[in-house]
């Protein structure tokens, strides 16, 4: 009985969520997360298999060498794609996971900036826009489930 009341309350809250033009920004965030994830995965694979493609500045990357950062970007890219897809499906947990992953991605791009400066700056700027959309207007994503 209690579970049914909880479900009814959740359903009622979802219907009370007013859909505005910002729902498009949630879609934008999800799609860009997927694209960002693919680019991260490609960048990671380049670093893993062809570390000589990047200009390596001695002792500028934190913790790992280029191959290590390649693995970080590959794994983070896969996670960004998966969470971006679930965000577009309107899953409530995906919003929190997306915020965490995008924030982590921005931080890893700061460390990656010595190896790929222009790309890192572009990705950080896109991550900030995604975070804004998810944090400020993320509640509207509940309307995607209806």
What digits encode the pLDDT tens for the residues 40-68? Answer: 898 888 878 876 655 555 655 455 567 77
Dist. CA 82–CA 2, nearest whole Å: 32
For the stretch 77-91, pLDDT in tens is 999 999 999 988 888
Dist. CA 110–CA 123, nearest whole Å: 10
For the stretch 96-113, pLDDT in tens is 999 999 999 998 888 777
Dist. CA 113–CA 18, nearest whole Å: 40
Contact indicator for 17, 139 with CB cutoff of 8 Å = yes
């Amino acid at each position: 009985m209690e579970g049914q009341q909880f479900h009814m309350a959740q359903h009622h809250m979802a219907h009370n969520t007013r859909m505005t033009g910002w729902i498009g920004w949630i879609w934008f965030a999800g799609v860009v997360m997927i694209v960002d994830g693919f680019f991260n995965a490609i960048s990671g694979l380049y670093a893993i298999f062809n570390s000589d493609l990047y200009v390596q500045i001695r002792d500028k990357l934190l913790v790992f060498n280029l191959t290590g950062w390649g693995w970080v970007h590959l794994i983070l890219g896969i996670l960004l794609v998966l969470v971006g897809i679930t965000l577009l499906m309107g899953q409530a947990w995906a919003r929190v996971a997306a915020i965490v992953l995008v924030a982590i991605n921005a931080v890893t791009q700061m460390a990656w900036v010595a190896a790929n400066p222009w790309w890192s700056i572009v990705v950080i700027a896109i991550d900030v826009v995604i975070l804004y959309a998810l944090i400020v207007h993320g509640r509207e994503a509940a309307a995607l489930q209806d």
